[in-house]
Amino acid sequence: MDNELLKMRSESHRGGFGELGGEERGLIDRSFRERIIVVGLIDEEKSETSTRVELQELCRLVDTAGADVVDVVMQRRKSPDPATFIGKGKAREIYQLAESLDADTVVFNDELTPAQQFNLEKIFHRSALDRTAVILDIFAQNASTPEGKAQVELAQLQYRLPRLKGQGRDFSQQAGGIGTRGPGETKLEIDRRRLVRRVNKLQRQLKVVGAHRDNQSKRRRRSLNQSVAIVGYTNAGKSTLLNLLANSDAIVADRLFATLDPLTRRLQLPGGESIFLTDTVGFVQRLPHQLVKAFKTTLDVVIDADLLIHIVDCSQASPETQIDAVHNVLEEIGAGEVPEMLVFNKSDKFDPSQLLMEYPDSVAISAHSGAGIEKLLSAVADQLRSVWDVVELAIPFDKGDVLAQVHREGQVLGERVTEEKMFIQARLDTLSRSRLSSFLVESEGHDGI
């Protein structure tokens, strides 16, 4: 037993959503809370400190999923055991502990292979799950729109498919517990071929939604408003900021992954420019890759954005770790190159001065009190102006496709026709400027339109 972690667990539990009524969540019956033992490994790859930080977060995830952590176990090993992840002796000890604490499930901090999961369940006589299953479970509970539900179900199926072997075990009476519920009615026991068909169907459905979103985003581009996405670690205050800036009504809650569906609102900047501001799903350390893949259409909003407002909860114990985790997910989804503005939120709770020095060009705000918001908005306007630039292009008459591209990607401010060419003055972003570089007229010497 690790008293310190258990204490952290019970503290996180006090503020966790276990206290929110089922009505508020609008979700499942919470009268029964599973009892969970959490297990973490300290090995050559992971120090004790980082394992502790991750376990603390895992306890919060378990709590958010609607279960109680009854004990935390850590094992120090050189590397994971290929068959049982932890040592077999340790696994037997955990079985005894689970019996004495009447625990329902053992949750591991790292992803288990299907074989490890199978072997551990044989020793434990109860479910062995990993962090991914817990995160998928939270997403399953929070999904409310058809798109969100389809995305989560797809991620769950892709997680479960390789694990089908050996399921149908005799302790599977835990239906309704972590890792077994989902927006879809799919039962683990139904045969693999049906699951594969379901995966294909969901992928097709999501493609259609993706195409629709693509059209929307093209329309937005054509409407000439720039697009800014709010990204960040879960619970950092993204939805609170959207609500404050755009008078919106996005769900705000002190729980993880409250937002799954993107919400876009129009916002007027102090200089008069109108932009689209989108609130997105929160990230977490090692966000399951199945989720990242399934949420592709949602995350495209982030890839297409002109600027990312990266919200960080500065009152967290380790904001740097959360910043790194967000950067990793951004890289993974292909948004690593989108310009980013780092914004430290919750300045009413914690003084961000040190962080502002560590991260140049960052801004501090409180989405609760409104402190720092004006500065944030003018910094956003400045950034957007530096991304978009007014240029002149000379386009030969036989290049109708290039002309169409300029209209599609930028804002055309004026046109002038000579005998050989068409001259266009347009506002273009960095990417379009480099794509159309061969048609750019050097600013010196041209007489304007």
The residue ranges that bind ligand GTP (CB under 6 A) are: 232, 234-240, 252-254, 256-259, 282, 345-346, 348-349, 366-368
Beta bridge partners of 38: 72, 107
Q: Does 258 bind Mg ion (CB under 5 A)?
A: yes
The interface mask with Mg ion, positions 232-251, x = CB under 5 A, is ------xx------------
Q: How far is CA 255 from the centre of its chain?
A: 14
Which span (120-128, 230-238, 299-307, 377-385) binds Mg ion, by CB under 5 A?
230-238
**To 5 degrees, how large is the angle CA 336–CA 238–CA 364?**
85
Residue 325 Cβ, how far from ligand GTP at the closest point, in Å?
12
Question: Nearer Cβ to ligand GTP, position 51 or 240?
Answer: 240
Q: Does 314 bind Mg ion (CB under 5 A)?
A: no
Which span (3-11, 74-82, 257-265, 367-375) binds Mg ion, by CB under 5 A?
257-265
346 binds, among ligand GTP, Mg ion, none (CB under 5 to 8 A by kind): ligand GTP
253 binds, among Mg ion, ligand GTP, none (CB under 5 to 8 A by kind): ligand GTP
Residue 335 Cβ, how far from ligand GTP at the closest point, in Å?
17
How many residues bind Mg ion (CB under 5 A)? The answer is 4
Phi and psi at 287, nearest 5°, equal: -60, 125
Question: Nearer Cβ to ligand GTP, position 106 or 314?
Answer: 314
**Buried residues in 411-435 as b, exposed as e (16+ CB within 10 A):** beeeeeeeeebbbbbbbbbeebbee
In three-state secondary structure terms, 167 is coil
278 binds, among Mg ion, ligand GTP, none (CB under 5 to 8 A by kind): none
Question: Nearer Cβ to ligand GTP, position 163 or 368?
Answer: 368
Q: Does 301 bind Mg ion (CB under 5 A)?
A: no
235 binds, among ligand GTP, Mg ion, none (CB under 5 to 8 A by kind): ligand GTP
Distances (CA, A) of 262 to 148, 216, 230, 257: 10, 13, 10, 12
Q: Does 259 bind Mg ion (CB under 5 A)?
A: yes
Residue 254 Cβ, how far from Mg ion at the closest point, in Å?
11
Phi and psi at 129, nearest 5°, equal: -125, 170
Look at residues 149, 277, 161 and name the one whose alpha carbon lies nearest to residue 209: 149
Beta bridge partners of 425: 392, 414
Residues 309 and 262 sit within 8 Å (Cβ to Cβ): no
Look at residues 425, 420, 385 and name the one whose alpha carbon lies nearest to residue 406: 425
Residue 367 Cβ, how far from Mg ion at the closest point, in Å?
11
Look at residues 155, 300, 316, 156 and name the one whose alpha carbon lies nearest to residue 233: 316
Chain residue whose CB lies nearest ligand GTP: 282
Look at residues 123, 126, 80 and name the one whose alpha carbon lies nearest to residue 107: 126
Q: Does 180 bind Mg ion (CB under 5 A)?
A: no
Question: Nearer Cβ to Mg ion, position 12 or 259?
Answer: 259
119 binds, among ligand GTP, Mg ion, none (CB under 5 to 8 A by kind): none
Question: Nearer Cβ to ligand GTP, position 48 or 254?
Answer: 254
Question: Nearer Cβ to ligand GTP, position 226 or 234?
Answer: 234
Distance CA 148, CA 128 (A): 26
Residue 265 Cβ, how far from Mg ion at the closest point, in Å?
13
Residue 383 Cβ, how far from ligand GTP at the closest point, in Å?
21
Question: Nearer Cβ to ligand GTP, position 174 or 315?
Answer: 315
Residue 315 Cβ, how far from ligand GTP at the closest point, in Å?
7
Question: Nearer Cβ to ligand GTP, position 254 or 358?
Answer: 254
Look at residues 338, 327, 265 and name the one whose alpha carbon lies nearest to residue 300: 338
Distances (CA, A) of 258 to 92, 238, 249, 439: 37, 10, 13, 46
Question: Nearer Cβ to ligand GTP, position 30 or 368?
Answer: 368
Question: Nearer Cβ to ligand GTP, position 150 or 258?
Answer: 258
Chain residue whose CB lies nearest Mg ion: 259
**Buried residues in 219-229 as b, exposed as e (16+ CB within 10 A):** ebbeeebbbbb
Phi and psi at 384, nearest 5°, equal: -65, -40
Residues 411 and 362 sit within 8 Å (Cβ to Cβ): no
In three-state secondary structure terms, 193 is helix
80 binds, among ligand GTP, Mg ion, none (CB under 5 to 8 A by kind): none
Question: Nearer Cβ to Mg ion, position 245 or 258?
Answer: 258
3-state helix, strand, coil in the chain (%, to 5): 45, 20, 35
Q: Which residues of the shown chain bind Mg ion in the complex (CB under 5 A)?
A: 238-239, 258-259
